[in-house]
Each structure stands twice: as structure tokens, then as C-alpha cells.
Structure 1
Amino acid sequence: MLRLYHILLGAILLSVLTPVGFVKYALPYLSSNNKLQPSSVAQANAGQKQAQTTSGNSQPNEGNIWKSILGKTAAPYGWRVAACDGNAPLLCVSSNRKILGTVEMGVYPLENQPNFQQMLAKAGIPPSSKVDYQSPKYQTQLASALKLWVSDHYSSLEKDRRGVYGDRIVFSAQSPQQVPFGKLQGMRYGFSGIKRGGGLHEQHLGYVAFDGKALYVITTAFDPASETGKFEKLGNFQTFEPYLSTNVKGLSLPK
């Protein structure tokens, strides 16, 4: 009886003293089915909080969308790409059972994106019209709307960085490039923050596409200020960067 009492007492104390966050986010990584040891549990399971480096003016839908749309994956030798555990919309990139970085996806319904509705209209596509966005007839207009989105995104980011860093960091944006996004046509974009004295302070990569109902935005980065959708080391980010386009191309979109 004494031993049973001690066991019960220990179990009660453990349940009281263990933080809820630890149980919610750490248990998936301690299970026998998933032996990955993340470099930061918070990085891979930080929930729906959006860093200011990602896009959109509304939160993405809940649930890890990567689990339902990820196709055949590509990664450097010895690396693994898979949907992260939990509901955060994160893709985990790992090596030797250690998470090197994550890629984040946001899904933004068109009805919550008045700015993009205006961009579609400016490109010649009334957002309320029933348009087959897979038709070659509308690909040029849709590409124009996505370029407007990227340009507006860059303007917001540059203003944000100027307010935070002043003239200590130079904002340098890449020209957007049209790329396959599953069976959709999307835009690949990116930007860097370059230190005045030389060297990279941050580097970001993004993809955006539209299926007629929602914007899909994929982001990852080397950025110490980001909480999710980031790599801890610049070298790992740059190594994985060319493989991300292949993974984006193989997505099962549109649904």
C-alpha cells in the first residue's frame, strides 16, 4: 500500500507541475511513432501566430494543410521533408532526426482579402465573376494580379524594416518569377536584409498562388526575428532553397 501511495502521489504532482504547453507540443515528439528531436519544439509547433514577414491581413485557416496536399518530396541527401506534427501549418525539414527548419503555409479566403480583390479587378478579372483560373485565357491576368500582390507585399515589408532597423539594414527584393504551384500558376519571390557593414541579416523566400477561392502563401527564411517558417542556420536555408520549388510544384493543388 505504501508503494502504491507513493506512485499515486508522484503522478498527481507531475500532472500539476507539468506546463500545459509542454504536454501539447512536446508529446508528439516523444511518441514511438515520431523520433525526430527538434532543435526547437516551439519553432515547429508555435501555432497560428504569424510573423510580420509573412503575408496577408488575416490569420490562415487552422489545421496543418501540408498533411493533405504534400506530394512527392525533394531534399538534399540525408535530409527528410514531412508535415510537422500538430495543427500548425508547418512543413518540417530534418536531418539525423533533428529539425533544421520549417516552411509555413497560410490559406487566405478571397472574401477576407479586399486588397487582392482590387488587384484582380485591376488585372481585368472581376472577383465576383465565375472564372476558370486554370484556363490559359486568364493566366496572364492572374499573373498580373499576383505580381501586384508581391509588389504590395514588398512595400509593406520595406516600410516595416525601415521602421525597425533604420538605415542599418538595406532591404533588397528579388523580381517575382512565375512558377508551378501544384497545378496552379504561382509566383516565387524573396528578399534579403543586408547589413551596411556587409553580410546577411535575414533572407526570405516565398511562393503565392490563387485558386479562385483563396490565396496560398508559402514562406520560409533565415531570420532570427521569426518564430515559425524559418531555419536556424543560413547555410541550411540556402541548401534547401533550390529543393523547395520542386516540393511546391508537386503539391496537390487545387484540391
Structure 2
Amino acid sequence: MLRLYHLLIGSILLVSIPLVAKFILPQFYPPKVVKSSAAAKLPNHNQGNIWQKILGNAAAPTNWQVAACKGNAPLLCVSSKGELLGTVEINIYPLAKNEDFQKKLVADGIPPGSEVDYQSSKYQTQVLSALKAWVADDYAAFVKARQSEYGKQILFSAYPPQPVPIGKLQGIRYGFAGLNQQGGLQEQHISHVAFDGSKVYLMTTAFAPGTQTGKFEKLENLTIFQPYLDAIAADLHLPQ
């Protein structure tokens, strides 16, 4: 069984890490907006990193650089003085091939083929409701996968989903954290998801030993970068 003080420490960490990242660290690392050169590097229709097309102004801590990674993988590289600190991955899911999300939209009053109305508060509310249901399923699948890997060694908890701008779209920022029973943070995941009427955009990064792409090697670097990631998401060229 978890001891009481472990639970108390875990609860404090889950609350304090997002608050530190959002309110305290930006005071020491004020956002620096760098004009992206992505417009000059548009990929062709079949090749290229999608970040080259959608990246707007790249906010970053002082002496950090943010740019689309080389190659075709949908990764955004975060580096400092030539050292890669982490990556952010974006995946795009066409609605036509996503029956589960179609059903969520229908349940919230948006049948297939509905006209997209970004200015309608009703439409935005319906989309956010469908996205929240999608987030809940994502978290359930995540916990199930991790429990099969860790058993009861790690206690997982979700951060409350929050509506945020993702380009001109209204999306949701959410995340998960895993606390080791012996103390300390085992994993932290940060995601942004949005829907443009035909595609779901999922942007993810993490501090997680088992994650292959879309991750930071050091928790402190992810914590520093988190508020800048929100700024980057808000300035993406979405919808395309």
C-alpha cells in the first residue's frame, strides 16, 4: 500500500508542476518570439515535415531554438546551443477514417458533412464536448497500457482538460502524470488536440523513458518549455 506521506507528496507534485511551469518559470525564462522561416521551406504534397507548413512564430526561452526537424517525420525540434533537448510530435487523423470521433460529434449534435462555423459559440461548445470525450478515451487507453507495463508501481493521474486556442481553432490542452510509489515523477505527458471540421490534430510531448518520439530527455527542460508550447500552439497556421 502507498503510505500516506507518499500520497501527500504525489498530490503536491501533480498540482505544483503545472503551476510552476505556467506561472513561475516564465518569470525566469520570458517568452522570446522568433520568426519562423518555415514559409520558405514548404514541402511538396507527398513529402516533408508538416511542421514546416503549420509553424508560426516560434516562442522559446532565451538561447533556445525551435524549428521543424529535418526529414519527413512530423517532429518539432527544441534545442539549445546545438544540443537537442526534446521534440514535439503532431499526428493528423482524417475524420473520414475515424469512426469513433464521428460518433462523438454526432452525439454532440454535429453530423457528418455539417458546415464548419468557427464563429458560432454553439458549434465551438459542441466540438469541445466531443474533444473532451476523445480525451477521456485517450486517458483510459493510456492508463490501461501503463498498468499492464507497470502494474501498481506507478500512480497515474490526469490534469484537468483546458480549452486553449490552437491556431484559429478552439482546442484542448490536457496531460497525464505518473508518480512512483517510492517518490518522484516517473512520467509526464502534455497534449493539445483540435478539430478543423475534417481532421483531428494531436500534438504531444512528454518526459517518459519508454517514449520513442515526441519527448524530452530531462523533466526540467520539459517543465521550462511547457508555457512556450502553449504559445506555439496558439500561433499555428491552422486550419490550413
For the aligned residue pairs, the C-alpha RMSD in angstroms reads 1.3
* Structure-1 separation of matches of 2:119 and 2:91: 21
Q: Are 1:163 and 2:148 counterparts? A: yes
1:63, CA displacement in angstroms? 3.6
Aligned position for 1:142: 127
Q: Are 1:202 and 2:187 counterparts? A: yes
1:174 maps to which of 159, 164, 167: 159
2:113 maps to which of 123, 128, 132: 128
Q: Are 1:243 and 2:228 counterparts? A: yes
TM-score (structure 1 length as normaliser): 0.74
1:180-191 matches, within 5 Å, as: 180-191=165-176
Structure whose residues are more often strand by fraction? 2
1:197, CA displacement in angstroms? 1.2
Q: Are 1:212 and 2:197 counterparts? A: yes
1:205 and 1:221 in contact (8 A); partners too: yes
SS, match of residue 140 in structure 2: helix
1:174 and 1:190 in contact (8 A); partners too: yes
Q: In the comparison of the two structures, how many residue pairs are matched? A: 195
List gaps (5 residues or longer) in structure 2: 1-45
SS, match of residue 176 in structure 1: strand
1:251, CA displacement in angstroms? 0.4
Q: Aligned pair in 2 of structure 1 residues 253, 218: CA closer, same or farther (>3 Å)?
A: same
List gaps (5 residues or longer) in structure 1: 1-60
Query: Could you tell me the percent identity over the aligned residues?
Result: 58
TM-score (structure 2 length as normaliser): 0.79
SS, match of residue 155 in structure 1: helix
Q: Which has the larger radius of gyration?
A: 1
1:62 and 1:88 in contact (8 A); partners too: no
Which letter maps to 1:168? Q
Aligned position for 2:207: 222
Which letter maps to 2:89? E
